[in-house]
Amino acid sequence: MAAPLTHTLDSLTVGDEIATATYQLDRGNLVRYAGASGDFNAIHYRDDIAAEVGLPGVLAHGMLTMGLSVQPVVEWIGDPGRVRDYQVKFTRPVVVDPRTGATVTVAAKVGAVDVEAQTARVDLTVTYEDATVLGKAQVVLSFA
Amino acid sequence: MAVNPELVGRHFPPTAPYLVGREKVREFSRAVLATHPINLDPSAAQAAGYSDVVAPPTFAVVIQEGTLAQLLNEPGSGIELTRIVHGSQQFSYTRPIVAGDELIAQLAVESVKTLAGNALVTAVSTITDAAGEHVCTATSMLVVGGDN
C-alpha cells in the first residue's frame, strides 16, 4: 500500500543532498495554518499581543515550519505515506513581517541508511535569516 | 504555580473519536504547502494503493491537540497556555493517516523535569484507529516557564 519507489535504498549515500526548497511565507500563510490546524494562539496573527509578551514580532507557528520543512522530502520520495518518523526541536522563531514576510529555506541530506530495516534517515537544515530554526530535524522514510 | 510532578505516569481518558475528512486533509495539506497529489487527489491516492487522500506527516497534531487541551484543563496541573513554549515534537507512525480514518488519542505524561527554573513536560499521545490498532505516537516536549 504505497506508491512505487522512485529511488532505491542502495542508491543512497550518507551526506548526499537529495532536495532543497525555498518558501516565502506571509501573514496569509499563518492565518491559513491557524484555521487548518485549530491553533489560534494570537501571537501568530496579532502584532500587539506578540509585542505584549515580549516577542520581536508575529511568529510562524512552529508546527507550520515543521509541516512545510518535510515537503521537499515527500516530493523526493514521491509518497507522503512513506514517512515513518519525523522529529524536530524548535530552536529559534521565524518572525513574519507584515509587509515582507519571511523566507525559509530547507536543505535535506541523507543522514543514515538502514538496509535491514529498509529505512533511510534524512536530516533537514532549515534556515531563516542565515540561522537555523529547527534542531535535530530528522525524517525516517520507509523503503519497504 | 510550579508544574505538578504527580502528573507523571498519569494516563488521561481517550479523546472522542475524530473522523478524518477528505476536505480537512486537503485543507491542512494546502496550509503546510504540501503539493503532492497523494495528499490532494483521491484518484492519485487510490492509484498508489491508499483508500483516500493521505494526510501530511504533521497532521497528527490535529488529533493530538485534544489531548494537550486535557492537560491544560487539568485542575492543579500548573501548566498555563501563556507560559508554554513548544520545545520539540515527534511523530512516529505505524501507518499513515488516510481520509476516512476514525481516530482516538490517549495522553500520558512521560516526564516532568526542571531546568533553569523552567519545567520540561514530555507529553505522549497515542493515536489508534477504530479497530484499536496503533497509527501514530505524537510526542511533545513543552517548556513551561517558571514564576517570575
Number of domains in chain A: 1
Grid coordinates given for B92: 512516529
pLDDT band at B121 (very low <50, low <70, confident <90, very high): very high
Do B36 and A36 make contact, defined as CB atoms within 8 angstroms? no
The answer to whether A37 contacts B54, with C-beta atoms less than 8 Å apart, is: no
Distances A7 to B20, B95, B131 between C-alpha atoms, Å: 30, 20, 33
Select from A39, A70, A89 the Cβ nearest to the Cβ of B87: A89
Residue type, A41: N
Residue B28 lies in a domain: no
Q: Do B92 and A84 touch (CB under 8 A)?
A: yes
Q: Decide if pLDDT at B19 tops 90.
A: yes
Which of A71, A76, A77, A94 best probes binding to B when mutated, by most B CB atoms within 10 angstroms?
Answer: A71
Task: List the CATH number of the domain containing B71.
Answer: 3.10.129.10
Q: What is the DSSP letter of B5?
A: G
- A74 in contact with chain B, both atoms CB, cutoff 8 A: yes
Domain hosting B89: range is 5-20+59-144
The pLDDT mean for chain A works out to: 96
- For B53: left if phi > 0, alpha if psi spans -120 to 50, otherwise beta; the answer is beta
pLDDT over threshold 60, residue B8: yes
- In whole angstroms, give the CA distance from residue B143 to residue B83: 8
User: Do strands B134-144 and A131-132 pair parallel, antiparallel, or not at all (unpaired)?
Assistant: unpaired
Smallest Cα–Cα separation from A32: which of A47, A44, A43, A19? Answer: A44
Residue A126, in any domain of the structure: yes
Domain contains A137: yes
Q: Kindly provide the ipTM of the predicted complex, given to two decimals.
A: 0.96
Task: Tell me the residue type at A28.
Answer: G
Domain CATH code at residue A108? 3.10.129.10
Q: How far apart are CA B38 and CA B57, in angstroms?
A: 12
pLDDT at B9 over 90: no
Q: Is residue B32, in this structure, part of any structural domain at all? A: no
Distances (CA, A) of A136 to A35, A110, B79: 28, 13, 26
Beta bridge partners of A113: A120
Which set of grid coordinates corresponds to residue B108? 500520558
Q: Which three cell numbers stand for residue A41?
A: 494562539
| Three-state SS annotation for B43-67 | HHHHHCCCCCCECCCCCHHHHHHHH
Nearest by CB to B89, which of A33, A71, A87? A87
pLDDT reading at B147 higher than 80: no
Q: Does A53 touch chain B (CB under 8 A)?
A: yes
DSSP B133: -
Q: Residue A93's domain spans which residues?
A: 12-26+59-142
Question: A53–B82: do the CB atoms touch at under 8 Å?
Answer: yes
Cα angle A68-B91-A44, degrees, rounded to a multiple of 5? 45
Q: What is the pLDDT at residue A109?
A: 98
Nearest chain A residue to B49 by CA distance is A1
Out of A19-23, A39-43, B35-39, B45-49, pick the least confident: A39-43
B82-103 pLDDT, tens digit per residue, is 788 999 999 999 999 999 999 9
Averaged over B4-13, what is the pLDDT?
89
Q: What is the pLDDT of residues A85-104, one digit of tens each?
A: 999 999 999 999 999 999 99
Of B48, B61, B93, the CB nearest to A79: B48
Query: Is B30 inside any structural domain?
Result: no
Looking at residue A1, its pLDDT comes to: 59
Residue A4 has pLDDT above 90, yes or no: no
